[in-house]
Amino acid sequence: MTDAAPSRFESPAAVRDGLRTVSYLADEGIAGVVFLAERLGKPILVEGPAGTGKTQLAKSVAELTGSRLIRLQCYEGLDESKALYEWNYKKQLLRIQAQRVAESDGHEGWSDIEEDIFSEPFLLTRPLLEAIRADEPVVLLIDEVDRVEVETEALLLEILSDYQVSIPELGTVSATQIPLVFLTSNNTRELSEALKRRCLFLHIDYPDIEREKEIVLTRVPGITEALADQVVRIVRSIRSLELKKAPSVSETLDWARTLLLLGIESVDAQTATETLHILLKYQSDIEKAAKDLTSSTTTSASR
Ligand SMILES: Nc1ncnc2c1ncn2[C@@H]1O[C@H](COP(=O)(O)OP(=O)(O)O)[C@@H](O)[C@H]1O
Ligand SMILES: [Mg+2]
């Protein structure tokens, strides 16, 4: 393993300003961890509620640094053959069949084929190996890592510890640079202590009002500041209710886009109630929020 590539960021503030240029609004906590991870060559484990910009952070850092993004989407049942590499059996079989034909003409024997079918052209490279073999700078996104089984988690840990892979038939492949690695988790289960120890930890929660407003202004072109302000304030108050599923940043954005499309300049209780299904995905949550919106606007109107 060689040293990390020359540093991509000068300071946490540079990370924050840089991310802004690619439309990602980071707070100090996010910028600080990204800065450190890059300096220390450590993976970042990003955790937090759904739709708060965990996946987008990796994508935006890749965009900002001009790195190739290699993504490993995790799911239950993901194994080494889909995460690391596997041999292309179909192609190997075809090769063997072709060989049989050649052999009947008195050509090469089995040992030649064996060497041949376990060589580069028969290898199917999966994201982890791809990231390790890359010559150019890469950002490796291991998305929703909490979905994999413990065995696969152990494999990830192994890779993230030495950035090398040994392929029995081919030898050991070592990274020539340490990729910037992001693991995201929605916390559906606890990850192993060992994996956590290997990573820098970053919790991304719902943004504060100011940052969410900036996100809306950046991601919803054409929206007025006043409407953006109103949208994030209402979302904020809805998030404070006891809900099955609180609205995420992506839902705030969907709602803002909807209101803009409907030509709404200012949200009143009625428009909010009519469009709540964009923000909330459970009928009981919608009813709760509608009730709250109506009562809060009547109290403020009677003030
Ligand atoms: N800090 C942010 N700056 C800009 N956009 C954001 C930010 N956080 C969330 N978003 C928006 O919300 C969407 C959903 O974020 P995503 O990264 O998919 O969430 P998750 O945390 O579930 O991975 C993104 O595509 C992006 O448009
Ligand atoms: Mg995600």
Which pLDDT tens digit goes with each residue over 177-207? 899 999 999 999 999 999 999 999 999 999 9
- Ligand 1 atom at minimum distance from 52 CA: 21
Which pLDDT tens digit goes with each residue over 250-277? 999 999 999 999 999 999 989 999 999 9
- Model pLDDT, residue 16: 97
Query: In sequence order, what DSSP letters do the residues of 156-181 get, joined into one string?
Result: HHHHHHH-EEEETTTEEEE-SSPPEE
Residue nearest to atom 22 of ligand 1 (CA): 51
- Model pLDDT, residue 295: 84
219 lines ligand 1 (CB under 6 A): yes
CA-based end-to-end distance of the chain? 67
Architecture of the domain made up of 12-81+131-203: 3-Layer(aba) Sandwich (3.40)
CA-angle at 57, arms to 233 and 254, nearest 5°: 40
Closest listed ligand to the CA of 16 = 1
157 lines ligand 1 (CB under 6 A): no
- Model pLDDT, residue 106: 63
- Model pLDDT, residue 2: 43
Distance CA 226, CA 186 (A): 32
- Residue matched to tokens 């060497």: 115
Q: What is the mean pLDDT of each run of 10 residues along the chain (303 residues)?
A: 62 97 97 97 96 97 97 97 95 88 69 84 96 96 96 94 92 93 94 95 97 98 97 96 96 97 92 94 95 75 45
Close Cβ partners of 170 (under 8 Å, ≥ 6 residues apart): 118, 119, 120, 123
Q: Structure tokens of 236? A: 């904020």
- Model pLDDT, residue 24: 98
Q: Give the distance (Å) from ligand 2 centre to CA of residue 54.
A: 6
- Model pLDDT, residue 103: 72
250 lines ligand 1 (CB under 6 A): yes
Domain residue ranges of the chain, discontinuous segments joined by +: 12-81+131-203, 85-120, 209-296
- Model pLDDT, residue 93: 92
- Model pLDDT, residue 300: 53
- 3-state DSSP of 198-262: HCEEEECCCCCHHHHHHHHHHHCCCCCHHHHHHHHHHHHHHHCCCCCCCCCHHHHHHHHHHHHHC
